[in-house]
Structure 1
Amino acid sequence: GWDVLCPQAEIEHPTKGGYAWWLRADDTISHVLDSSSQSNVNDSLIRVTQEIPDGPIIVGGFSQGGAMASALLETDVQDRIFGLVLIATKTIRPESLDASLPFLKPRPVVWMHGKSDHLVPIDYGYEHAEIFEAADWPVIRFEHEKGHMVNQNQFDELKTAIQEMANSI
């Protein structure tokens, strides 16, 4: 059987409520994270890697969680990652991800993003998927017209794609 681990981000978001894996000094939608934000990411990655159980894993997340999931490919757990699920997200280290993927064994990626996403513009989502595709990783794309969300109309297809990923292990 499978277990599901949902690590909780620990940084309280001062304006939007909830928690974040990193904060931005200027709270803008930008591609590049400042040094303080990158430090938040590094600290968060260390904590998450300590929580991940032994054995094969599929990592995924929504928004910042998806960015953290793909950043796990740059850690010592990368060899146990058998698939990724990236929803309404972007890469936080595009150059680093692009440089590392050719040296890693390709594994399946399930990607979902909405064209009307105002928090993570779809162009950032496209870039994230295209980095994997350029390295010949198989990417299943679920694109929709909605915003920063999981499209419930594609939920069964999303679930099937993740189940197929799990069945391949």
Structure 2
Amino acid sequence: EAALEGMATKGLWYMPTLHITSETARQGRNWPAHMSERMKAAHPVHCAGVAKAHAMGIRIAVGTDGGPGSVMNEMRLLVACGLTPMEAIVAATRSTAEVLGILGTTGTLEVGRRADLVVVRGDPDRDITALASHDAIAMVIKGGEVQGTGDADPVAAMRSAAHTT
């Protein structure tokens, strides 16, 4: 608790990397038994620390030591620890860009900033897992170009996604 109070006082960021305790506990068969058991015990404490930091107003950003999909998993874990889905999305985008010192060029959807987008059917502000379902992806825009869409008409796909939320 003293560490969190110090972070709050100094205005420091918290990048909890919940993925480490969660995945090590979940994938216990891939770890020595003592390590898996320690992570199973550590994860609820880790999550409680995130909830406490959030309640104290400590700014949270997203980072992981995992591979593809780990940022999405980290957002899901942040929600499980008490952040709203939108707070988790902001932690993974705007907040992380600010921590990295690149908020002036990316991290938010604004004219003149770089952004890659995933347009989904559903409302990730209500259900963060809407971002994780391949079936829910209506369109991917990377570098200003439509990279893929499950629909023949990308504009119709975007309109459809907007109307389902």
- Tell me, yes or no, whether TM beats 0.5: no
**Higher-helix-fraction structure:** 2
Look at both structures and tell me which one has the larger radius of gyration over its CA atoms: 2
TM-score calculated relative to the size of structure 2:
0.33
TM-score calculated relative to the size of structure 1:
0.32
